[in-house]
Structure 1
């Protein structure tokens, strides 16, 4: 399981890093113009902190895989992360509209890849936490 946690660590750190490109890719400068200043800044700040937390989760997995698998405290953290990613998986499947990806090759591919990724994260963390 430690190998999987280290792989997850690298993948989460990569995921966090791509958040840097979100504002340009999603045309936030143009798309968010109609929002108030506070709402525009909340999008930026929240995106930063989501990326930061995801990066730190990755760093934790990469540097502390042994502790996560072999200590009660580590398994408790892993269980919590398992519930976190299970919730993210539920949102992927039931909250995002299928209109965002259905019938669009690139978006469908991304939807499938991230669904598989959330399943992987959920299963590794829950298996580690429930061990």
Structure 2
């Protein structure tokens, strides 16, 4: 399980760093312009804090796998992370519109990869808790 947590940690750190390109990739200068100032700033601030949270979660998994597996606090963290990523998987399948990826090769590949990742994260964390 420690190896799985190291792998998850590295993936989460990489995912957090990918957030750096979001404003340019999603053309936020143009796309967010019609929004009010508060809504534009909420999108950017929330994106920053999501990236920071994902980065810190990844760092914790990468550096403290044994503690997550072997301590009561670690097991509680694993349960919290398992619930978090399970909800994220639910959103992947039932909240995001199929129109965002259906019949689009790149978007479909991304959808499949992230669906697998969210389910993998959920499974590992919940297995740690329920062991």
TM-score normalised to structure 1 length: 0.99
1:32-82: CA deviation from partner (whole Å, max 9, x where unpaired): 110011110110000000000000000000110000000111011001100
1:97 & 1:44 partners in 2: Cα distance? Answer: 22
Segments of 5+ residues of structure 2 without an aligned counterpart are none
Q: How far apart in 2 are the matches of 1:31 and 1:18? A: 19
2:124 equivalent to 1:113? no
Name the residue aligned to 1:30. 30
Question: Hey, what's the Cα distance between the residues in 2 that align with 1:8 and 1:111?
Answer: 18
SS for the counterpart of 1:33 is coil
Residue 42 of structure 1: SS of its match in structure 2? helix
1:1-131 alignment, distance < 5 Å: 1-131=1-131
TM-score (norm 2): 0.99
Tell me the alpha carbon deviations over residues 65-108 of structure 1, each in whole angstroms, 9 at most, x when there is no partner: 00000011101100110000000000000000000000000000
Provide Cα deviations, 1:6-37, integer angstroms capped at 9, x if missing partner: 10000000000000000100001000110011
Task: Return the alpha-carbon distance in structure 1 between the equivalents of residues 47 and 80 of structure 2.
Answer: 21
**Deviation >2 Å, runs of 4+:** none
Instruction: Give the secondary structure class of the aligned counterpart of 1:35.
Output: coil
Structural RMSD (CA): 0.4
- Number of residue equivalences: 131
Equivalent-residue separation in structure 2 for 1:28 and 1:99 (angstroms): 20
SS at 1:34 equivalent: coil
